[in-house]
Amino acid sequence: MPPCAIEFRDVMFSRAGDRTVLDHFSISIEAGETVALVGRSGAGKTTILKLVNRLLLPDSGDVVVEGRPTRDWDPIVLRRRIGYVLQDVGLFPHLTITDNIAVIPRLERWPEPRTHARVLEMLQLVGLPAERFESRWPDELSGGQRQRIGVARALALDPPVLLMDEPFGALDPMTRAELHGEFHRIQQQVRKTVVIVTHDMAEAFALADRIGVVDDGALAVFDRPQAVRESRDARVRRLLDAMPGLTARSRPS
């Protein structure tokens, strides 16, 4: 069994104005698996991701990444070992595609030939031909292409962990389905520890090895997709019922 890449140990977290976001939250994510955290908006999913790369620190309890609590990590070093993909991508509009992908390798003082080779490799990985894309600007790309660049940028330093916050939420269904396929292909190649946050149960079923349902700051269930599908937990059923196409098929007869 590979070691736990990410572990939450009894984490408490509340926002200013003391609204509790996470309430005694614990989870263990193994290296190399893809975990989807599903929940309604405001369930605390994004907070979980931000605790992993130390954009936030827990009020109590520990978030352990690669065996060390985030508290003890240098935040810059930690974040460069964790790729982060946002729903709105957040590509730098003043930089070309190449420069967007090369930002962090350059900050790491990679020699330029190595950086460039890595950019080409990443473009190939996400399925965008370098000769057509390397010198284009972010606003010349479609939403799906931008999201691919977001993934390429996040993987540029070859981090062991990839966090994805509603990565395909803003895309049309066709593109989303296409990118789901691409995700599997890429994950086959790179085998990262991936944590995807989504409010879409169908997406979780399409992508994840294990699915965690987050409700009211706690983990309602965390299991293989098949087990989640058959869960009797009311909080899980509510989410499943919200996905008519899927639940029609999956409702136990």
Partner 1 sequence: MTRLFAFWSAHRTELVALLSQHVLLVMVSTVVAVAVAVPLGIFASRRPRLAAPLTAIANVVQTIPSLAMFGFLLPVPLIGGVGARAALVVLVLYGLLPIVRTTIAGLRGIDPVIREAGIAMGMTDRELLRLVELPLALPSIIAGIRVAAVVGVGSATIAAAIGAGGLGEFIYRGLSMVDTTVILGGAIPAAGLALAVDALLYGVERALSRRRKESARVVTALAVLAVLAVGASAVASRPAAGAVVVVGSKNFTEQLVLGELLAQTIERDAGLRVDRRLNLGGTLICDRAILSGDIDAYVEYTGTALTAIFHEPVVNDPARVLEIVRDRYSRTGRTLLQPLGFNNTFAILVRGRDARNRHLKTIDDVVPVAPSWRAGFGYEFLERPDGFPGLAKAYGLRFAETPRVMDLTLSYRALASGQVDLIAGDATAGLIKGLDLFQLEDNRRYFPPYDAAIVVRAETLLRYPELRTALDGLSGRISAADMRSLNYAADAEHRDIAQVVREFLQKTTP
Rounded to whole angstroms, how far apart are CA atoms 199 and 202?
9
Under rule CB under 8 A, residue 76 binds partner 1: yes
Stretch that binds partner 1, among 2-10, 22-30, 84-92, 244-252 (CB under 8 A): 84-92
The alpha carbon of 200 is separated from its chain's Cα centroid by a whole number of angstroms, namely 14
Q: From the CB of 45, what's the least distance to partner 1, in Å?
A: 15
Rounded to whole angstroms, how far apart are CA atoms 225 and 76?
34
Stretch 148-187: interaction string toward partner 1, x if CB under 8 A: -----xx---------------------------------
Q: Which of 77, 174, 234, 248 binds partner 1 (CB under 8 A)?
A: 77
**Identity of the residue, 134 or 215, whose beta carbon is nearer to partner 1 in the bound complex:** 134
**Residue carrying the six token digits 């982060």:** 84
Q: From the CB of 105, what's the least distance to partner 1, in Å?
A: 11
Stretch 183-212: interaction string toward partner 1, x if CB under 8 A: ------------------------------
With CA atoms as reference, report the closest residue to 161 among 46, 82, 74, 69: 82
Q: Which of 10, 15, 92, 237 binds partner 1 (CB under 8 A)?
A: 92
What is the size of the binding site for partner 1 (CB under 8 A)? 23
| Interface residue list for partner 1 (CB under 8 A) | 53, 55, 75-80, 84, 86, 88-94, 103-104, 107, 137, 153-154
